[in-house]
């Protein structure tokens, strides 16, 4: 098992290498002089020269790549063109809101969606099944910001149970932290509950038709045992896949929610960087997102081998 | 053993009706079925596919698809207790304790993500109060009882580590660990090789003798019936055709349907050999080998020889059979010969031309000389393409105008005894046997010199099987086609092959005229295969044991 983990981590290195190369070339392959792009439209020739020297743009391209990667490995992601701050310092404090909301969303979604999916599959064709599937369609089709604003109106403005927006670090106490992430979490959960419940139901329906489920029933064990011990574990692999890729998307793709709830997360950082053409920040964000993706996929693969003994490692 | 003493009736089915859906006029899947199984007795329920035998067994267990298959009349009593009106809870209590079931597919009947020992343990946990040590001991004892080797290791193994025969033993151990009164075995050996089948049948017999279990044994195979039954019940279209003691049914079947069913069973005694011919050799395989290499990024590569040094010769108008158990490499050889997969080494000569090393493009003109028919007619035809298009596609690819190709398709349908209007219909509108005829017509559309039939009749009921075999014979006589016939069924091989090659673990162990190899085998493995053929003592088509036939003709 340990050997397998090590091999998988080793295999992730070339993947990240390709991503790094792509990110590096992104700036170099953009039409025009990178220095001119970085300096903006009204730059003087001296300013351009300074930027070229500071970025090492006068060196041969492989030397540039080497220096860039060497810096990356030392944790130096470069400096923002807009704020002139080191990018690492910009990302650091923004990770907590993003990761907190993403984790909370995934946990809440699994707790709600997996039982819903299991019940829908078990009661296949009945009104319970149709109700769950209807809910799922609703979750897919209502835009995230609509759900967000409705929740704010009801729970923050009318009922005044929680603050309207903002974020407090967990280091400031669990209460303030929790009451500020609960609405964004619920908002995001809608679509993930829809997704995971659907996947669970489809996967369970497949598995419930399998011979070994009939065998389990023939043994005279109760329905709960049949559903949980025999069916769910076999149905889990596709569900885990959806959950994993959902989590990776959540970390970086929740711009709307972050805007609605005024959360200082990395989604907004990315959008701001794109709008301002802050290339070093964009590069860093692409690297970070890819890293998370590769990491989550690694975890999913490990989960597969734990769930299914037939998958060899 | 068969005593009609009403006191020891274990399973008593009376006038059972099972309908498709809840409506009063629903189509009856089971129609007025009555049968009894006594203590210590094996009742074989025989019938072709769709006869309702599996529905009967699932209904007894209460495992039929709820809402779709609805028992609407009659009664099913287990040791006097009515099952049709029993609550779900009561049925759960009875399962595994009073009645247990084993299924056809040992490969899929066990949960792949739970160790097999724990799967047996579940039965004990659900129905007994034993502590974990007592349970484990009981399970290990039971596993030894079903003659599993190395029980400690197997106890904690996952199903995919075990062979088909071992998995079926686990299923039997699971079914019998609480000594139920009734064991329902639904085609328990159909998916197994003959040698394994023989062991499993013997095991069921012995366990039954030791425990006095009543066995309801469902099968389509008359050979298996002859091996294991005390009494036989024949079903057709959900109705009981006839029932009686084994000897009565095999010797003096009263109903036409039973007579036909028995007459369709191919004999193990090879048909009279056809005279040797000096027709040209159309197909030669020379020291053909296929090695699969499993490469891994960091570990060592593994090699598996699926076929090694296979040499075969086939003349025009003749039939060569390749027989062997699963994994013997017979299908690999067939696929190498047709170049669906590429042989690792060795040669294939088709009509005098070496084709084993031709590139895909150069192979193209030779492809039409060799065509293949597959085992499962339900999956080998594209469901979204009309029968006519399927048949005409080959000739069109080889440049025949579409109109001519469709005319040809019509002629071929006639040749395989299907109506001409079949041309515009879709595969799902045909039965298994008809589909296999379509597959044959498709293969013949290219005028091949060689037809490869890979288990082409194995998925068919015996009566349909007999018709398809007759058809192949007729086509061979009319067109002079050479037939390479791959089968695991020695009975079929005996009836259609001029020569046979017996394969084991990728090698040909014995080869020669069918009449010699199948009556006077020289190799131990061939002898073992023949020994294991179920019902080898019976000449079903003549309603008598083989020994009496020899006396009669002597």
The ipTM of this complex is: 0.80
* Farthest-apart Cα atoms in chain B, separation: 76
Question: Over 70: is that where the pLDDT of A220 sits?
Answer: yes
- State whether B354 and B389 are in the same domain: yes
- Report pLDDT digits (tens) over B439-483: 999 999 999 999 999 988 888 888 888 889 999 999 999 899 999
- Sign of the Cα torsion B518, B522, B525, B528 reads positive
Residues 2-31 of A with CB under 8 A from B: 7, 11
> For residue B109, what is the nearest residue in chain A, using CA coordinates?
A212
Residues 238-297 of B with CB under 8 A from A: 297
Query: Is B3 a domain residue?
Result: no
Question: Over 80: is that where the pLDDT of A195 sits?
Answer: yes
Distance CA A219, CA B119 (A): 9
Residue A231: band (very low, low, confident or very high) from pLDDT cuts 50, 70, 90: very high
Question: Over 80: is that where the pLDDT of B120 sits?
Answer: yes
* Helix, strand, coil distribution of chain B in percent, nearest 5: 40, 25, 35
Distance CA B365, CA B351 (A): 12
> For residue A304, what is the nearest residue in chain B, using CA coordinates?
B113
**What is the rounded average pLDDT of the residues A20-49?**
74
Question: Over 80: is that where the pLDDT of B553 sits?
Answer: no
- State whether B310 and B358 are in the same domain: yes
- State whether B352 and B209 are in the same domain: no
Distance from CA of B95 to the nearest CA of A (A): 5
- State whether B415 and B377 are in the same domain: yes
For residue B432 the two structure tokens come to 């298994």
- State whether B374 and B494 are in the same domain: yes
Chain B residue numbers touching A304 (CB-CB < 8 A): none
Residue B136 has a pLDDT of 95
Residue A303 has a pLDDT of 87
Question: Over 50: is that where the pLDDT of B536 sits?
Answer: yes
How much is the mean pLDDT over chain A?
85
- State whether B310 and B187 are in the same domain: no
Distance from CA of B53 to the nearest CA of A (A): 17
Distance CA B542, CA B268 (A): 12
Q: Please answer yes or no on whether A219 and B114 come within 8 Å at the CB atom.
A: no
Domain termination site, one of B263, B290, B309:
B263
- State whether B255 and B399 are in the same domain: no
Nearest CB partner across the interface for A215, out of B97, B109, B113: B109
> For residue B100, what is the nearest residue in chain A, using CA coordinates?
A218
Distance from CA of A306 to the nearest CA of B (A): 10
- State whether B474 and B336 are in the same domain: yes
Question: Over 60: is that where the pLDDT of B297 sits?
Answer: no
Question: Over 80: is that where the pLDDT of B298 sits?
Answer: no
**What is the rounded average pLDDT of the residues B362-381?**
89
Q: Please answer yes or no on whether A211 and B103 come within 8 Å at the CB atom.
A: yes
Nearest CB partner across the interface for A218, out of B95, B108, B113: B95
Residues 147-206 of B with CB under 8 A from A: 158, 160, 171, 174
Question: Over 80: is that where the pLDDT of B235 sits?
Answer: yes
Chain B residue numbers touching A309 (CB-CB < 8 A): 112-113, 158, 160
- Report pLDDT digits (tens) over B143-158: 998 989 899 999 999 9
Domain count for chain B, please give it: 2
Query: Is B120 a domain residue?
Result: no
**What is the rounded average pLDDT of the residues B82-89?**
92
Query: Is B137 a domain residue?
Result: no
Residue A67 has a pLDDT of 84
- Report pLDDT digits (tens) over B475-519: 999 899 999 999 999 999 999 999 999 999 999 999 999 999 999
Residue B299 has a pLDDT of 56
> For residue B104, what is the nearest residue in chain A, using CA coordinates?
A211
Domain-by-domain residue ranges, chain A? 2-87, 92-307
Domain termination site, one of B230, B263, B296:
B263
| Class of the CATH-defined domain A92-307 | mainly alpha
Distance CA B194, CA B129 (A): 39
Taking the Cβ of residue A215 and every Cβ of chain B, the question of whether any pair is shorter than 8 Å is answered with yes
**What is the rounded average pLDDT of the residues A24-28?**
77
- State whether B329 and B440 are in the same domain: yes
Distance from CA of B93 to the nearest CA of A (A): 6
Residue B554: band (very low, low, confident or very high) from pLDDT cuts 50, 70, 90: very low
Query: Is B121 a domain residue?
Result: no
Buried b / exposed e along A71-108 (16+ C-beta atoms within 10 A): ebeeeebbbbbeeeebbeebbeebebbbbbbbebbbeb
Chain A residue numbers touching B63 (CB-CB < 8 A): 214, 217-218
Residue B1 has a pLDDT of 44
Query: Is B219 a domain residue?
Result: yes
Residue A31 has a pLDDT of 65
Residues 4-33 of B with CB under 8 A from A: none
> For residue B60, what is the nearest residue in chain A, using CA coordinates?
A218
Distance from CA of B113 to the nearest CA of A (A): 5
Percent of chain A with pLDDT over 70: 95
Nearest CB partner across the interface for B113, out of A214, A225, A234: A234
Residue B6 has a pLDDT of 56
Q: Which of A89-98, B382-391, B408-417 has the lowest mean pLDDT?
A: A89-98
Residues 29-58 of A with CB under 8 A from B: none
- Report pLDDT digits (tens) over B259-269: 999 999 998 88
Distance CA B484, CA B333 (A): 11
Closest CA to B486 of B292, B346, B307, B273: B307
Q: Which of A25-29, A90-94, A126-130 has the highest mean pLDDT?
A: A126-130
Query: Is B129 a domain residue?
Result: no
**What is the rounded average pLDDT of the residues B66-73?**
87
B218 bridge partner residues: B45, B186
pTM of the model: 0.83
Distance from CA of B289 to the nearest CA of A (A): 28
**What is the rounded average pLDDT of the residues B29-36?**
93
Question: Over 70: is that where the pLDDT of A7 sits?
Answer: yes
- State whether B338 and B203 are in the same domain: no
Q: Please answer yes or no on whether A219 and B126 come within 8 Å at the CB atom.
A: yes
Q: Please answer yes or no on whether A219 and B111 come within 8 Å at the CB atom.
A: no
Q: Which of A23-27, B159-163, B365-369 has the lowest mean pLDDT?
A: A23-27
Q: Please answer yes or no on whether A217 and B63 come within 8 Å at the CB atom.
A: yes
Question: Over 50: is that where the pLDDT of B301 sits?
Answer: yes
Residues 99-158 of B with CB under 8 A from A: 100-101, 103, 105, 108-114, 122-123, 126-127, 158
Query: Is B141 a domain residue?
Result: no
Nearest CB partner across the interface for A220, out of B114, B126, B171: B126
Chain A residue numbers touching B96 (CB-CB < 8 A): 218-220
- Is the distance from CB of A145 to CB of A207 less than 8 angstroms? no
Residue B35: band (very low, low, confident or very high) from pLDDT cuts 50, 70, 90: very high
**What is the rounded average pLDDT of the residues B26-51?**
91
Residue B3 has a pLDDT of 45
| A to B CB pairs, distance under 8 Å | 76
How much is the mean pLDDT over chain B?
90
Taking the Cβ of residue B93 and every Cβ of chain A, the question of whether any pair is shorter than 8 Å is answered with yes
- Report pLDDT digits (tens) over A246-266: 877 787 667 788 888 888 888
Q: Which of A204-208, A254-258, A272-276, B354-358 has the highest mean pLDDT?
A: A204-208
CATH number of the domain encompassing residue B196: 3.40.50.300
Region of A158 (left: φ > 0; alpha: ψ -120 to 50; beta: rest) is alpha
Query: Is B143 a domain residue?
Result: no
Taking the Cβ of residue A211 and every Cβ of chain B, the question of whether any pair is shorter than 8 Å is answered with yes
Contacts of B515 (CB under 8 A, 6+ apart): B270, B272, B273
Closest CA to B375 of B271, B474, B488, B267: B488
Residue A198: band (very low, low, confident or very high) from pLDDT cuts 50, 70, 90: very high
Nearest CB partner across the interface for A234, out of B94, B112, B158: B112
Range of the domain at B85: 10-109+180-263
**What is the rounded average pLDDT of the residues B358-383?**
88
Q: Which of A273-277, A302-306, B96-100, B503-507 has the lowest mean pLDDT?
A: A273-277
- Report pLDDT digits (tens) over A153-182: 999 889 888 888 888 888 888 888 888 889
For residue A67 the two structure tokens come to 């220096």
Residue B2 has a pLDDT of 44
To probe the interface with B, which of A13, A212, A240 has the most B CB atoms within 10 Å? A212
Residue B24 has a pLDDT of 78
Residue B172 has a pLDDT of 93
């Amino acid at each position: 098992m340990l050997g397998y983990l090590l091999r998988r981590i080793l295999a992730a290195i070339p993947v990240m290498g390709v991503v790094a190369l792509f990110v590096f070339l992104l700036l170099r392959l953009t039409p025009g002089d990178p220095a001119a792009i970085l300096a903006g439209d009204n730059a003087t020739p001296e300013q351009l020269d300074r930027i070229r020297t500071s970025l090492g743009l006068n060196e041969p391209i492989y030397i540039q790549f080497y220096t860039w990667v060497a810096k990356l490995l030392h944790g130096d992601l470069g400096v923002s063109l807009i704020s002139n701050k080191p990018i690492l310092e910009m990302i650091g404090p923004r990770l907590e809101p993003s990761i907190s909301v993403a984790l909370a969303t995934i946990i809440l979604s699994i707790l709600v969606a997996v039982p819903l999916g299991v019940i829908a599959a078990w009661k296949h064709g009945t009104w319970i099944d149709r109700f769950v599937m209807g809910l799922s369609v609703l979750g897919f089709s209502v835009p995230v910001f609509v759900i967000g604003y409705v929740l704010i109106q009801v729970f923050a403005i009318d009922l005044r149970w929680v603050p309207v927006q903002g974020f407090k670090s967990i280091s400031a106490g669990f209460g303030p932290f929790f009451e500020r992430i609960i609405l964004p979490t619920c908002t995001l959960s809608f679509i993930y509950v829809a997704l995971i419940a659907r996947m669970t139901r489809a996967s369970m329906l497949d598995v419930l038709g399998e011979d070994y489920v009939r065998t389990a029933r023939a043994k005279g064990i109760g329905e709960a045992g049949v559903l949980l011990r025999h069916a769910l574990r076999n149905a889990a692999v596709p569900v885990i896949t959806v959950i994993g890729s959902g989590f990776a998307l959540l970390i970086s793709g929740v711009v709307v929610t972050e805007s609605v709830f005024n959360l200082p997360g990395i989604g907004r950082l990315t959008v701001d960087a794109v709008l301002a053409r802050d290339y070093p920040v964009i590069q860093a964000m692409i690297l970070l997102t890819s890293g998370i993706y590769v990491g989550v996929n690694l975890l999913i693969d490990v989960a597969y081998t734990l769930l299914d003994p037939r998958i060899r490692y | 053993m068969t005593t009609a003493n009403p006191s020891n009736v274990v399973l008593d089915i009376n006038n059972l009706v099972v309908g498709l859906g809840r409506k009063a006029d629903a189509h009856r899947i089971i129609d007025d079925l009555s049968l009894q199984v006594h203590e210590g007795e094996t009742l074989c329920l025989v019938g072709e596919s769709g006869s309702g035998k599996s529905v009967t067994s699932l209904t007894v267990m209460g495992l039929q698809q709820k809402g779709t298959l609805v028992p609407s009349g009659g009664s099913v009593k287990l040791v006097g207790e009515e099952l049709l009106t029993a609550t779900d809870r009561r049925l759960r209590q009875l399962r595994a304790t009073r009645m247990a079931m084993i299924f056809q597919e040992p490969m899929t009947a066990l949960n792949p993500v739970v160790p097999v020992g724990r799967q047996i343990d579940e039965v004990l946990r659900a129905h007994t109060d034993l502590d974990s040590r007592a349970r484990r001991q009981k399970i290990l004892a039971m596993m030894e009882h079903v003659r599993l080797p190395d029980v400690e290791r197997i106890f904690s193994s996952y199903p995919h580590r075990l062979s088909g025969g071992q998995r079926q033993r686990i299923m039997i151990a699971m079914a019998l660990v609480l000594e139920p009164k009734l064991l329902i075995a639904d085609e328990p050996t159909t998916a197994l090789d003959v040698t394994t089948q023989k062991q499993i049948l013997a095991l069921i017999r012995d366990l039954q003798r030791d425990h006095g279990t009543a066995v309801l044994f469902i099968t389509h195979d008359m050979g298996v019936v002859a091996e294991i039954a005390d009494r036989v019940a024949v079903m057709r279209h959900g109705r009981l055709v006839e029932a009686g003691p084994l000897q009565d049914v095999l010797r003096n079947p009263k109903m036409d349907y039973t007579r036909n069913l028995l007459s369709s069973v191919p004999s193990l005694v090879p048909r009279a050999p056809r005279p040797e011919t000096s027709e040209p050799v159309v197909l030669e395989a020379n020291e053909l080998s296929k090695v699969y290499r499993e490469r891994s990024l960091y570990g060592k590569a593994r090699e598996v020889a699926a076929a090694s040094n296979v040499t075969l010769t086939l003349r025009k108008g003749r039939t060569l059979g390749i027989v062997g158990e699963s994994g013997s490499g017979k299908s690999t050889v067939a696929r190498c010969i047709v170049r669906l997969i590429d042989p690792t080494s060795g040669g294939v000569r088709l009509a005098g031309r070496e084709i084993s090393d031709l590139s895909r493009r150069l192979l193209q003109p030779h492809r039409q000389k060799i065509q293949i028919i597959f085992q499962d007619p339900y999956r080998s035809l594209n469901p979204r393409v009309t029968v006519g298009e399927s048949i005409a596609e080959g000739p069109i690819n080889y440049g025949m105008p579409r109109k001519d190709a469709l005319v040809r398709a019509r002629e071929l349908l006639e040749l395989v005894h299907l109506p001409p209007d079949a041309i515009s219909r879709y595969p799902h509108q045909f039965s298994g046997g008809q589909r296999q005829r379509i597959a044959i017509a498709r293969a013949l559309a290219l005028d091949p010199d060689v037809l490869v039939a890979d288990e082409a009749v194995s998925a068919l009921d015996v009566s349909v099987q007999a018709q398809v075999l007759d058809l192949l014979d007729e086509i061979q006589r009319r067109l002079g086609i050479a037939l390479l016939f791959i089968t695991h069924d020695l009975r079929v091989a005996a009836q259609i092959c001029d020569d046979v090659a017996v394969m084991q673990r990728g090698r040909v162990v014995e080869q020669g005229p069918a009449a010699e190899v199948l009556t006077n085998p020289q190799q131990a493995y061939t002898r073992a295969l023949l020994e294991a053929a179920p019902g080898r003592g019976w000449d079903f088509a003549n309603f008598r044991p083989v020994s009496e036939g020899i006396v009669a003709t002597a």
